[in-house]
Chains A and B, each alone.
Chain A
Amino acid sequence: MRKVIFILLILFLVASTIPVYAQDGSGNDFDVDTGGAWGEVVDANGNILYNELVDLGVVNQDADWMPTIPGYGQIQAEYHMYQTSSGNIVVMPTATTLLFMAINPFESGFDGAASQLGNGMGVVLEAPGLIKALLGGYLETDSIKNMGYSDQDVFFQDVINGKTNIFTALGKNVLNFLQYLIASSWEDKNIYTMLLLYTPDMCNKIPGGCPEGAFLPENITPPDGPCPSGKATPGKITATAGKTAPNNVLVVGQDPEKRGADLWWELRVAPTIYTYWKQELIVENVCVELTGTGLSDCTTSNNKKGLITPTVTGWKCEQYTQIFQEKLNWGLGIASLSQTSRDWILTTLSIRYPRAFLHNPYFSFSGAAGGFLGDGSYRWRLTRDKVQLADPGYFNLMVNGSTSGTPVTAPRGFSLNAGQVPVWLKEVVIIK
């Protein structure tokens, strides 16, 4: 019965790939940020993105923290390693290796990873918790008690500190336990218990050192130097304005109906385009010489049997663009009599109409609403009916205001000419 419960528990722990939790180097748990480093490795559902990873293969390495076969030496540590497009290296230890990594967290590099990703569901992302989860029902609690431990957690910590022997606690279950660990390793790629992520500069902390075939900053210089820094191109601000009625606007002083003019102003703010570059690995299908037996599907440059294998061949600066929408913080629709018209009223017209003066040469309106259009631009439109224009001449229609700015650009102030409206004066002409 105990065995059945344990098997169910292990299936629950191992087969569950969601929710996925990660832990950064500081030891803080957080939900997987698929936009961060882990975003290159797993999707939001916790599935490993194998198609986007360079498979560095299964790596067997000597590791002095693995258990020793008398007369032969240590069991080799075994990992499946992958490299992401940004150069990070993801290490997936087999379950057996993972256990001994957890028992020797410092020596094995378990503690040195930039980030750890486990399958959640109670697998605590620190060494004692991991050991506890892996051991599960194989532990003989009586053995632990006989060793003087009333608290299992203290026992696990002492195992890590080298104060006690985990095999003693396993008692006669060692073989079955090791078999379970082997069986729960990489038979199914979607099942994993722990992923460790190392940034390229942490090569020396990867268990067993840098994997062969990994493309690391130490062994190559990007051919064109560092990528250009990001560049923001602010969206163009355009303004238009005009009148909808009447066809000919008469100064209100000569219009018994005081009709005035129906005016409109419109402003558009195009989205800001942010262009940036990221250093990425160039992965090409290369014919790699076969090391063992197997099917060959190509011939290498030195006429050896090979296998077409995705291989890292260099760095590139990949260009990306990001679009940021920008709206208005505030805007004013303005109708301002042109300077030429002002001068004409005060000079030429004042000859015919003594004491002619400027009645109201400047109007300012606010209060319009705006919104984003399908192309990402922002549209702001203001209308005012029956604006009482009392001065003859040309009214310049303008839009003043300020944009909100974007995450990559500061707010922008503007004062834009948008159109012109003529305002007529009826004049009696005596024809001789």
Chain B
Amino acid sequence: MEIQLSRKFLRNVMILVVILIAGILAYSAYLTFFTPRESQENELPPASMDSPALQALVAFYSPNPDQPEQWMENVCQGMTTDGCELFRSLYAPSILAEGAQGQGAKATVTVQNANVDDFGDGRRIWQTKIEMGKETIEVFIEVELLDTQWYLRRVLFQEEATQYTVP
């Protein structure tokens, strides 16, 4: 028995195969170039003390009310641009008005969890531990990967952090 295939049918099959191959190639390219976190997890910079984000956090908890501008500048050096703006306008006035506990003392920071939440666009929530003198507190921060380093966007409010602490 001989099966007759029309030329038109063969042409359609060929087009379908080409589209399928192009789709597979495009998806592969997407995975390769546009979703680096899963495939390149090992290549992400570590949450080390060298990161601007943690340097900013140390400065954040080491206020100097005598030189407020210098202190804010130190914090902002490790922050993103919009994070710095928010810090200067919302956080800093209240911290300075509080009498800036821990004045003169340098806080120490350790990262407990560098992937509490992943927003999927280079931003993450980290869980840190801050020691200010005798006081130790748990602080959640939002960081952003810029170029090859993590920068601090903001310190989460206590009320906000409960979503990561309350089961």
List the interface of chain A (C-beta within 8 A of B).
60, 67-76, 96, 165, 167-168, 172, 174-176, 178-179, 182
Instruction: State A69–B93 Cα separation when bound (angstroms).
Output: 12
Instruction: State A96–B94 Cα separation when bound (angstroms).
Output: 13
* 24 pairs of residues in contact across A and B, judged by CB atoms under 8 Å: A60-B94, A68-B159, A69-B94, A69-B95, A69-B158, A70-B138, A70-B155, A70-B157, A70-B161, A71-B61, A71-B101, A71-B132, A71-B137, A71-B139, A72-B94, A72-B101, A73-B94, A75-B91, A165-B159, A165-B160, A167-B163, A168-B163, A175-B142, A182-B86
Would A67 and B158 count as touching, CB distance under 8 A? yes
Is B41 engaged at the interface, CB distance under 8 Å to the other chain?
no
In the complex where A70-B138, A71-B130, A182-B89 touch, is A60 in contact with B97 (Cβ < 8 A)? yes
Count chain B residues whose beta carbon lies closer than 8 angstroms to a beta carbon of A: 36
In the complex where A71-B61, A71-B137 touch, is A174 in contact with B91 (Cβ < 8 A)? no
Is B66 engaged at the interface, CB distance under 8 Å to the other chain?
no
Query: Which A residues are in CB contact (< 8 Å) with B102?
Result: 71
Instruction: State A381–B45 Cα separation when bound (angstroms).
Output: 101
Which partner residue on chain B sits nearest A77 by CB separation?
A: B94
Shortest CB-to-CB span from A103 to chain B, Å, is: 10
Query: Which A residues are in CB contact (< 8 Å) with B156?
Result: 70, 167, 174
Instruction: State A202–B154 Cα separation when bound (angstroms).
Output: 38
Instruction: State A74–B157 Cα separation when bound (angstroms).
Output: 9
Shortest CB-to-CB span from A238 to chain B, Å, is: 70
Query: Which A residues are in CB contact (< 8 Å) with B83?
Result: 175
Residue in A76, A167, A168, A179 whose beta carbon sits within 8 Å of that of B94 in the complex: A76
Would B130 and A60 count as touching, CB distance under 8 A? no
Would B132 and A69 count as touching, CB distance under 8 A? no
A-side interface mostly: mixed
Would A68 and B123 count as touching, CB distance under 8 A? no
Instruction: State A396–B155 Cα separation when bound (angstroms).
Output: 96
Query: Which B residues are in CB contact (< 8 Å) with A67?
Result: 157-160
Query: Which A residues are in CB contact (< 8 Å) with B155?
Result: 69-70
Instruction: State A125–B16 Cα separation when bound (angstroms).
Output: 60
Is B69 engaged at the interface, CB distance under 8 Å to the other chain?
no
Which partner residue on chain A sits nearest B80 by CB separation?
A: A175
Which partner residue on chain A sits nearest B140 by CB separation?
A: A70
Shortest CB-to-CB span from A185 to chain B, Å, is: 9
Query: Which B residues are in CB contact (< 8 Å) with A71?
Result: 61, 101-102, 130, 132, 135, 137, 139
Query: Which B residues are in CB contact (< 8 Å) with A76?
Result: 93-94, 97
Most chain B CB within 10 A, of A60, A69, A74, A182, is at: A69
Which partner residue on chain B sits nearest A176 by CB separation?
A: B82
Residue in B82, B85, B137, B163 whose beta carbon sits within 8 Å of that of A70 in the complex: B137
Query: Which A residues are in CB contact (< 8 Å) with B153?
Result: 175
Instruction: State A308–B154 Cα separation when bound (angstroms).
Output: 40
Is B112 engaged at the interface, CB distance under 8 Å to the other chain?
no
Would A167 and B157 count as touching, CB distance under 8 A? yes
Query: Which B residues are in CB contact (< 8 Å) with A70?
Result: 130, 137-139, 155-158, 161
Shortest CB-to-CB span from B154 to chain A, Å, is: 5
Would A165 and B163 count as touching, CB distance under 8 A? yes
Shortest CB-to-CB span from A346 to chain B, Å, is: 100
Which partner residue on chain A sits nearest B141 by CB separation?
A: A70
Is B2 engaged at the interface, CB distance under 8 Å to the other chain?
no
Is B90 engaged at the interface, CB distance under 8 Å to the other chain?
yes
Shortest CB-to-CB span from B21 to chain A, Å, is: 34
Instruction: State A71–B134 Cα separation when bound (angstroms).
Output: 12
Would B138 and A175 count as touching, CB distance under 8 A? no
Is B162 engaged at the interface, CB distance under 8 Å to the other chain?
yes
Which partner residue on chain B sits nearest A147 by CB separation?
A: B163
Instruction: State A71–B82 Cα separation when bound (angstroms).
Output: 22
Would A74 and B94 count as touching, CB distance under 8 A? yes
Shortest CB-to-CB span from B6 to chain A, Å, is: 46
Is B38 engaged at the interface, CB distance under 8 Å to the other chain?
no
Instruction: State A172–B121 Cα separation when bound (angstroms).
Output: 10
Shortest CB-to-CB span from B76 to chain A, Å, is: 14
Shortest CB-to-CB span from B91 to chain A, Å, is: 6
Most chain A CB within 10 A, of B90, B98, B123, is at: B90
In the complex where A172-B119, A172-B123, A175-B142 touch, is A75 in contact with B159 (Cβ < 8 A)? no
Which partner residue on chain B sits nearest A73 by CB separation?
A: B98
Query: Which B residues are in CB contact (< 8 Å) with A175?
Result: 82-83, 86, 142, 153-154
Residue in A60, A69, A167 whose beta carbon sits within 8 Å of that of B91 in the complex: A69
Most chain B CB within 10 A, of A60, A72, A75, A167, is at: A72
Instruction: State A182–B93 Cα separation when bound (angstroms).
Output: 13
Query: Which B residues are in CB contact (< 8 Å) with A75?
Result: 90-91, 94, 157
Additional 8 contacts, C-beta under 8 A, given A167-B157, A174-B142, A182-B86: A60-B94, A68-B157, A69-B94, A71-B139, A167-B159, A175-B82, A175-B86, A182-B90
Instruction: State A121–B125 Cα separation when bound (angstroms).
Output: 37
Residue in A73, A168, A178 whose beta carbon sits within 8 Å of that of B90 in the complex: A178
Instruction: State A182–B132 Cα separation when bound (angstroms).
Output: 29
Nearest 6 interchain pairs by C-beta? A167-B160, A67-B157, A68-B158, A172-B119, A76-B94, A75-B94
